[in-house]
Chains A and B, each alone.
Chain A
Amino acid sequence: MAETLQELRPGQSGRVTGVSARRAMGQRLTELGFTRGSEVRCLYAAALGDPRA
């Protein structure tokens, strides 16, 4: 079971329980819709493995 967004593998889904990222990134995630209770899914990874969509 993934604890952070980074650990989500392509194909996996999860539910957001909280946003603990530092200020700028945390705000960005929140305003994009990564709010408590919302569902997220990892679609695929970049050619070199990182970042992920």
Chain B
Amino acid sequence: MNKTSKPLRRVALCGNPNVGKSTVFNALTGLRQHTGNWTGKTVETAQGTVEWPEESWQLTDLPGTYSLLSGSPEEEIACDFLCFTPLDAAIVVCDATCLERNLNLALQVIEASRRAVVCVNLMDEARRRGVDIDLEGLRKRLGVPVVGTAARDGKGLQRLREAVELAAGGREEPPLRYPPELERALELLLPELERCLPEGANARFAALRLMASGERFLERLDAPDEAKSGLREAYQRARESLCGGEPPYARIVTAGYEAAHALCAECVKTRSALDARQLRLDRALAGKWIGIPLLLCLLALVFYLTLIGANAPSAWLSALFERLYGPLRAALAGAPPWLASLLMDGVYRVTTWVVAVMLPPMAIFFPLFTLLEDFGFLPRVAFNLDRCFKRCDACGKQALCMMQGLGCNAVGVTGCRIIQSPRERMVAVLTNSMIPCNGRLPTLITLATLFFLGGGAWASALSALYLAGTLALAVGVTLLCSRLLTRTVLRGMPSAFSLELPPFRRPHIRQVLVRSLLDRTLFVLGRAATVAAPAGLILWLLANLRLGDASVLSAAAGALNPLGRLLGMDGALLLGFILGFPANEIVLPITLMIYLAEGTLVDAAGVTALREILVANGWTVWTAVCATLFSLFHWPCSTTLWTIAKETKSARWTLLAAALPTLVGAALCFLVECLHRLVG
């Protein structure tokens, strides 16, 4: 067998947050990776393979950082990778529209790696805004290959490959001479460093790291003790030689920015200082009377589109699965009847229910959300709402996690990673499930339509407004709970809030929609398989196994009645919530199943006299109110709880995440029930 092996290069990708680094990564590897238009989105390292005709790359996408020297976890990851992994090239991705700030990092990367390629991305944006960049001039002055790209459209990637090949040769000279005192200090450190570092390591950059982080760097350095103590002494002398004034870190970065400024003065020509249109839009969005109302209107619009858009596909999917039921059942004719029933009435029914109910709204909500994200709208929301959150000692970025939680709480919890402070992140994670997700919307709407709103021509519009109202309630309770948490178990100072407001970008609508649609579909189907199918199995068992003369299900409902009534509901509904732990969509169907003593899930939409059935089982408007409140505030669903466990890596906090909304919901329901008994 004739195998031609292509040479394999190891390449790293680094850059400031929000420069399109992930877009470059995706364009090169073809791998799917979630790209958002706001900072902090890519926090983990990702790997991929790039197949060229001439060679292959093993590409590592490093976390977005503003510098390599300030010592935050992302920067340490990026810095360690660049220093200690044998690399063939390091590509620094820069944003052509704000090159000056990006060049600071570029200079550091060139210093660290000596095999760097500067990739100036978003050239199309720059051109549109009248920014002209002299790439050749930059190349001459930086001494490394400089390539212009527009990764969104796939332009410039071939030149990038050629540049990487060129860069593999390496360069000897450091890109930047620091002020004399700093250079002298670095000289003091070099001999000791060379004793501590492995053969061939970049001692000059290590010296810079040492000056910047001091003790922290010394601690993390892996070297014999006497070599380290020699180094420590040299470091003390170096620091003293700088005789006070600015700390070394600030001096290094200042020198970097001055060099970047000089480079841009020569190589970048801007026709307009700051894009006037962008600024006008930003000022308008931050306006006192516009900012927040606009956000609410947009949300209501997204809700509305999700509702009307999801109705038809949901019905269609339900009908489809119903049609398939017959033939599938027939195919199982050979199996024992109990098995056929278990598989069809249990597993199949629940799984198809979850898919039919969840897939359409998610397939509409998330693409819309991603469009807003890509456009650049979401960071402005965090910006506008930060003050509210600061009053609760939480972070404005929590608003963004809450919005994601609207689609799916599990996604919202993962999204909390954009909050840097661990304390504030925990607050966001614990309160996220108090925002109703797509799965709870059908329950909320059904209850509302039956007991509060009535049907009629304006049903969808009214429902959208009603949902916006319940959302406002959920947000209010979330803020209160955040405040409660930060005054008790999560006490601490609010962290300083710095948020990058990326420029407004026209989203690539088709790309976003297609990718988001695929992502969501896979997610829902995956969840159906792992969560809904087993739930269906258990449900069938409970409904069809007999305890005495009633099914286990009925018996359990009866046992829960006292507690249920205390909370303004009843045993069946409470059991519905409990068994709805795997997936919130099945709460009402389970409740109906119990009422009608059926062996399988009952379709709420298909039941003509739904209201009558509920009323016959003791429901009143008050019951509907409590059901709505409990639907908003109860334990997170299994997928969300699992995600919380993975994110917090702590059983204690996960338990609190389950207990907090439950206690809130129970308390509210209890209060309403007390009110009911007083009044009624």
Contacts and interface: CB of A to CB of B under 8 A. Distances in A.
A52 to B, nearest CB: 9
B76 to A, nearest CB: 13
A31 B283 contact: no
A34 B208 CA distance: 20
A49 B387 contact: yes
A31 B496 contact: no
Nearest to A21: B496
Closest 9 CB pairs between A and B?
Answer: A47-B291, A25-B496, A48-B387, A35-B254, A31-B66, A31-B67, A47-B384, A27-B70, A44-B283
Main secondary structure of the interface of A (DSSP, over half): loop
A43 to B, nearest CB: 7
Contact of B495 (A18, A24, A32, A36): A24
Contacts of A19: 250
B506 to A, nearest CB: 21
Interface in B271-308: 279, 282-283, 286-288, 290-292
B286 A38 contact: no
B649 to A, nearest CB: 23
B235 to A, nearest CB: 19
Nearest to B246: A36
Contacts of B288: 47-48
Nearest to B420: A24
5 contacts: A30-B250, A31-B66, A47-B286, A48-B292, A50-B386
Interface string A13-53: 00000110100110111111101111000011111111101
Contact of B257 (A35, A44, A49, A51): A35
A48 B384 contact: yes
B390 interface: yes
A24 B75 CA distance: 13
A31 B497 contact: no
Interface string B36-47: 000000000000
A43 B72 CA distance: 28
A53 B274 CA distance: 14
A36 B254 CA distance: 7
A35 B253 contact: yes
In this complex, the member of A27, A31, A45, A51 whose beta carbon has the largest number of chain B beta carbons within 10 angstroms is A31
Contact of B253 (A31, A48, A50): A31
Contact of B282 (A28, A32, A38, A53): A53
Given A47-B291, A51-B396, 10 more contacts: A30-B70, A30-B254, A32-B498, A33-B101, A36-B254, A47-B287, A47-B292, A48-B387, A50-B387, A53-B383
A37 B246 CA distance: 13
A38 B501 CA distance: 20
Contacts of A25: 496, 498
Contact of B250 (A35, A45, A49): A35
Contact of B496 (A24, A32, A35, A48): A24
A3 to B, nearest CB: 17
A2 B177 CA distance: 34
B100 interface: yes
A32 B283 contact: no
In this complex, the member of A27, A37, A47, A50 whose beta carbon has the largest number of chain B beta carbons within 10 angstroms is A47
A30 B253 contact: yes
Given A27-B71, A47-B291, A53 B66 contact: no
Contacts of B262: none
Nearest to B68: A31
Nearest to B254: A35
A43 B104 contact: no
A21 B387 CA distance: 20
Contact of A32 (B66, B384, B386, B387): B66
